[in-house]
């Protein structure tokens, strides 16, 4: 389909197209240029003095440019929302939207960058070369398992925060919601047995953060069933999961593993039958997070589970990454952190859970993205933890 074959006027009848016409972002100056004096300070010759100072003392770039407050939102367009590999051009509306959310919720400037390459080496080298222009890198919609390698290598080579939101944003919000669901039930995370359906980016990250938070036991499934030590055909990421999870030694299907389980977390796009949810322990917690179609219909899950969460905005307890990434980056940038540690993610989850406070209920285990308390609480916790972990530069 080409522009000549499509009536833009007819597309604009759809409010989504009308809103996106011309893009959702623009660059604005922070200072006025009213006369020759302003011009001589903002540009030549005044700018040369600033350039020389930065050349002599490179750290001054953080004080005299926008670098310390700007994040690159980087994607190769291979795993965009539920649309899959649609390419860098088609990914741009999502990356623009992500940049908009950074600004609206965290007062962080962000630039969408869609790369016309999918090779891990090419992505890493490109981002490393772009990095001097940014205070942080937010990786977005890069398919697994490549996303793990891209993030790992960038973290090794850069001294600024690198954060794959599909992994860690999801994980932070899930942990926060699960903390409150467990508190509502009068239980600790260590009491719970969880099953995670999906061993992609978000499934692995959720599993890892729950392990770090002290979950009692957790098993992960992929399209071939439960991941366990000795199962054939596992990649390096799943081999590591097999070593660190599934203390009960479960094998077989997701449905079998759910029998007697306390927690189900769906991140797979699959369907879980009602009977499997019915077989879970009394007072179960069901986080059916595939979007737009949850693994189990929320009304069905609610027949058996005490707490039901989804990724949708039209149901209670929406697990939405915008609750995490603006505050995480705001806090990291504020202290000019060199990285985002596991403890910083755990601190973000605890702060997010605490926003709910004594108002916790079956339909309120996680705050709304529009709760003005969220980003400040998360950013303060992240900044504080960065200092405790020794990765803050101010």
Tens of pLDDT, residue by residue over 214-268, are: 999 999 999 999 999 999 989 999 999 999 999 999 999 999 999 999 999 999 8
Peptide bond into 292 cis (omega under 30): yes
pLDDT band at 184; cut points 50, 70, 90: very high
User: Per-residue pLDDT for 204 more than 60?
Assistant: yes
- What is the phi-psi region of residue 84: left when phi exceeds 0, alpha when psi lies from -120 to 50, beta otherwise? left
In 3D space, the residue among 322, 369, 372 whose CA is nearest the CA of residue 172 turns out to be 322
Q: What local confidence, expressed as pLDDT, does residue 344 receive?
A: 98
Q: What local confidence, expressed as pLDDT, does residue 2 receive?
A: 57
Tokens at 277, concatenated: 């949810």
In 3D space, the residue among 139, 130, 153 whose CA is nearest the CA of residue 77 turns out to be 139
Burial 140-170 (b: 16+ CB within 10 A, else e): bbbbbbbbbbbbebbbeebebbbbbbbbbbb
**Catalytic residue positions, numbered:** 43, 98
pLDDT band at 269; cut points 50, 70, 90: confident
Diameter of the chain measured on Cα atoms: 75
In 3D space, the residue among 96, 118, 135 whose CA is nearest the CA of residue 16 turns out to be 96
Element (H, E) at 157: helix 146-157
Mean pLDDT computed over every residue of the chain: 95
Across 19-133, the runs of DSSP E, i.e. the strands, are 70-75, 109-114
Q: Give the residue, 367 or 270, on which the prediction is more confident.
A: 367
User: Per-residue pLDDT for 275 more than 70?
Assistant: yes
Q: How far is residue 35's CA from residue 39's CA, in Å, rounded to a whole number?
A: 6
- Helical axes 120-130 vs 146-157, angle rounded to 10°: 30
Q: CB pairs under 8 A, 24+ apart, for 227-235? A: 227/199, 235/145
Residue 189 CB partners (closer than 8 Å, separation 6+):
178, 179, 182, 210, 213, 214, 215, 216
Q: What local confidence, expressed as pLDDT, does residue 81 receive?
A: 84
Q: What local confidence, expressed as pLDDT, does residue 7 receive?
A: 82
Q: What local confidence, expressed as pLDDT, does residue 252 receive?
A: 95
User: Per-residue pLDDT for 101 more than 90?
Assistant: yes
């Amino acid at each position: 389909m080409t522009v000549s074959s499509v009536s833009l006027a007819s597309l604009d009848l759809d409010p989504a197209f009308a809103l996106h016409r011309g893009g959702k972002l623009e660059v604005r100056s922070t200072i006025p240029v009213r006369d020759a004096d302003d011009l001589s300070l903002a540009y030549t010759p005044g700018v040369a003095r600033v350039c020389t100072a930065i050349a002599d003392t490179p750290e001054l770039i953080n004080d005299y440019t926008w670098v310390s407050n700007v994040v690159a939102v980087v994607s190769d367009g291979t795993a965009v929302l539920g649309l899959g590999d649609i390419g860098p051009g088609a990914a741009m509306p999502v990356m623009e939207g992500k940049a908009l959310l950074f600004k609206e919720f965290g007062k962080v400037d962000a630039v969408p960058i869609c790369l016309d390459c999918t090779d891990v080496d090419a992505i890493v080298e490109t981002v490393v070369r772009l990095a001097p222009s940014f205070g942080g890198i937010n990786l977005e919609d890069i398919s697994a398992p490549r996303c793990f390698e891209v993030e790992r290598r960038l973290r090794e080579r850069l001294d600024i925060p690198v954060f794959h939101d599909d992994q860690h944003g999801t994980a932070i919000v899930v942990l926060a919601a699960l903390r409150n669901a467990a508190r509502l039930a009068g239980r600790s995370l260590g009491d719970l047995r969880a099953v995670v359906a999906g061993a992609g980016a978000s499934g692995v990250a959720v599993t890892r953060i729950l392990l770090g938070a002290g979950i009692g036991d957790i098993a992960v499934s992929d399209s071939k069933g439960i991941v366990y030590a000795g199962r054939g055909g596992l990649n390096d990421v799943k081999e590591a999961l097999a070593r660190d999870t599934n203390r009960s030694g479960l094998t077989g299907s997701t449905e079998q593993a759910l029998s007697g389980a306390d927690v189900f977390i769906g991140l797979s796009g699959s369907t879980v039958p009602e009977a499997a949810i019915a077989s879970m322990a009394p007072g179960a917690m069901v986080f059916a997070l595939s979007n737009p179609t949850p693994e189990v219909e929320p009304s069905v899950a609610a027949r058996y589970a005490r707490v039901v969460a989804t990724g949708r905005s039209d149901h209670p307890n929406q697990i939405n990454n915008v609750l995490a990434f603006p505050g995480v980056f705001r806090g990291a940038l504020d202290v000019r952190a060199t990285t985002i540690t596991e403890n910083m993610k755990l601190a973000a989850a605890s702060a997010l859970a605490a926003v709910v406070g004594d108002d916790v209920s079956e339909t309120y285990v996680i705050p709304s993205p529009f709760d003005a308390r969220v980003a400040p609480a998360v950013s303060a916790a992240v900044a504080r933890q960065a200092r405790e972990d020794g990765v803050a530069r101010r």
